Structure 1
Amino acid sequence: MVELNNVNFKYKNKKPLFTDLNLQLGTGFIYGLLGKNGAGKSTLLKHIAGLLYPQSGQCKVFGYTASQRIPQMLEDIYVIPEEFELPSIALNAYTKSNAVFYAKFSYEQFNKYLTEFELPADAKLSTLSYGQKKKFLIAFGLATNARVLILDEPTNGLDIPSKSQFRKIVASALTEDKIIIISTHQVRDLENLIDFVVVLENGKIIFNKNIAEISERLAFEHSLAGVPASDILYHEDMPGRKAGITRNRSGQETRVDLELLFNGVIKDTSVINSHFVK
């Protein structure tokens, strides 16, 4: 489990970013961390990885204090950052040098992922495109079998077929003892993949619900024509129509539109959250 308890943090000469921030992430789930630019998503991920330290409060990863970055924790957590640099060596040479730091690294899985991503193991990293390098890091990260996998904007640089491969591979890699956290602005890339939606705004967790509960309680309409005003929780103008979020009165699970959900949560946080109060 990942636990952030009453975390307070601010950058030097800046106003506080986190004030008594609390968050718990359980095993066996894929979390989508959503937020606008500057909301604090990358800062939150760095706290979990122990790369930033709270001024007060605690961040624990499977019982370890993240900021202490002891080896037992580090071999069980892998971060794929949005921005990265890779050495000018072959993929297999990089893997040989770095896999030793992860006790559960699987070459069998790694080679399988390379095949699915259509990456040759003997290729030189410097000859790969940005998207190919991203796929290599995703393959390596999954093959570590770390219990916490953090992906910051993982679909940047991936074409449409590669995004589909990404969703398929990540979903198949999840096991009941792992936590996968995906932070992105490209919310549609996470549809049919994540189990929980976590929205961060101005350093605060303003929404944290599982997809099943969302689909039971909310409906996402691309045209609100004929929908009673009392059922509309959020709406936005589209060319020739209005789209939005409504109460789900059908009793059936609905398809969750992550983009509409995110926009609704950001604009009408209290209205959307109030619909989940039991």
Structure 2
Amino acid sequence: MVTVEKLTFAFQKNEPLFTGLDMRLEAGNTYGLFGLNGAGKTTLLNQLSGMLFPHKGSCTVLGENVKKRLPKTMSEIYILPEQFDLPKIDAEIYAELHAPFYPRFDHTYLSEILNEFQVDRQKNLTELSYGQRKKFLIAFALSTNSKLVLMDEPTNGLDIPSKSQFRKIMAASDQSNRCFLISTHQVRDLDSIIDHVIVLNNGKIIFQQSVMDISTTLSFEKLSDDSDKIALYSEDVFGGKAAIISKNKSSKETQIDLELLFNGIIQKQELINNQFKS
């Protein structure tokens, strides 16, 4: 569905942000995009949405270069930005004005999600709290039924109950023919949503694996200080170490620790990637 090939981009000529970046995304998947601050996560989303153009290389969605900004392609892409401004109108008027850009927009689904989020549809959007406005945009994004949905820090500004609602709504949504790419630094907010992990660092994708492959390749365990197990990466925690270990046939199934995995990839990129080579 999405193909990025040899993408090169820089805001300043002598300081490239991306250098020959390659990435492929398929329909039916939800990808978590992780990276250090300044790694270019937001810029990559803007490239995929056609808001920024690459200096070299290409971004294609559904077989079309997004640089062309063809209406049929743009109607299949929705980007939820981290920073946004909304007009002084209510949710229903906003939907009436913007829904025509998305041929499969579902007004009934929008109402269901807004009810779940407890967002007042009759209230001017500018009068809502930041968290309520964010929830409205999440609801609108899902209701577009666009094939590609890009979300930049969607859980920022949400309280703990709202984050739980977000995970519930995402899990219940029909994603069979859609692709979600969610950028965040709050990795724990996505642990029950994503089925693929992508790590962006130093202008390149340095890790991209499915959650299934991660769970069958790596084990996430707490080790005592006297443990004889060899860790690929570890961090000190109370009473021992939180560790990533290469899985073998006798290893127990463990829950993926996304935060530990991200730190391990940043610190031990080659070592961890080597575990996935057959």
Question: TM-score normalized by structure 2?
Answer: 0.96
Which segment is superposed worse, 248-257 or 16-25?
A: 248-257
Give deviations 1:93-129, integer Å, cap 9, x for gaps. Answer: 1111111111000011100100110112112111111
1:243 alignment counterpart = 242
Equivalent residue of 1:120, what SS?
coil
Equivalent residue runs for 1:1-278 within 5 Å: 1-229=1-229, 231-249=230-248, 250-278=250-278
Which segment is superposed worse, 158-167 or 10-19?
A: 10-19
User: CA RMSD for the aligned pairs?
Assistant: 1.3
Equivalenced residue count is 277
| CA distance in 1 between partners of 2:170 and 2:76 (Å) | 17
| CA distance in 2 between partners of 1:161 and 1:208 (Å) | 30
Which segment is superposed worse, 57-66 or 238-247?
A: 238-247
Amino acid of the residue matched to residue 269 of structure 1? Q
| CA distance in 2 between partners of 1:251 and 1:107 (Å) | 48
Amino acid of the residue matched to residue 91 of structure 1? A
Amino acid of the residue matched to residue 245 of structure 2? T
Equivalent residue of 2:53, what SS?
coil
How far the C-alpha of 1:14 sits from its partner, in A, is 4.1
Contact 1:195 1:210 in 2 (8 A): yes
Amino acid of the residue matched to residue 241 of structure 1? G
| CA distance in 2 between partners of 1:214 and 1:187 (Å) | 15
| CA distance in 1 between partners of 2:53 and 2:72 (Å) | 18
Q: How high is the sequence identity, in percent, across the aligned residues?
A: 47
Amino acid of the residue matched to residue 5 of structure 2? N
Give deviations 1:141-187, integer Å, cap 9, x for gaps. Answer: 10000000000000000011111110111122242210001000000
Contact 1:59 1:66 in 2 (8 A): yes
| CA distance in 2 between partners of 1:51 and 1:224 (Å) | 49
Contact 1:224 1:244 in 2 (8 A): no
Contact 2:219 2:251 in 1 (8 A): no
| CA distance in 2 between partners of 1:174 and 1:222 (Å) | 36
Contact 1:200 1:206 in 2 (8 A): yes
How far the C-alpha of 1:223 sits from its partner, in A, is 3.3
Give deviations 1:196-242, integer Å, cap 9, x for gaps. Answer: 0000011111100000010111111233445424x311011224422
Contact 1:48 1:66 in 2 (8 A): yes
| CA distance in 2 between partners of 1:253 and 1:65 (Å) | 41
- Structure 1: any 5+ residue segments left out of the alignment? none
Give deviations 1:55-80, integer Å, cap 9, x for gaps. Answer: 11111000110111110011111000
Which segment is superposed worse, 98-107 or 219-228?
A: 219-228
| CA distance in 2 between partners of 1:221 and 1:253 (Å) | 10
| CA distance in 2 between partners of 1:227 and 1:3 (Å) | 44
Amino acid of the residue matched to residue 203 of structure 2? G
How far the C-alpha of 1:254 sits from its partner, in A, is 2.3
| CA distance in 1 between partners of 2:117 and 2:175 (Å) | 21
Amino acid of the residue matched to residue 33 of structure 1? L
Contact 1:199 1:206 in 2 (8 A): yes
Contact 1:221 1:246 in 2 (8 A): yes
Amino acid of the residue matched to residue 233 of structure 1? L
| CA distance in 1 between partners of 2:41 and 2:228 (Å) | 36
Contact 1:200 1:207 in 2 (8 A): yes
Question: TM-score normalized by structure 1?
Answer: 0.96
| CA distance in 2 between partners of 1:114 and 1:75 (Å) | 22
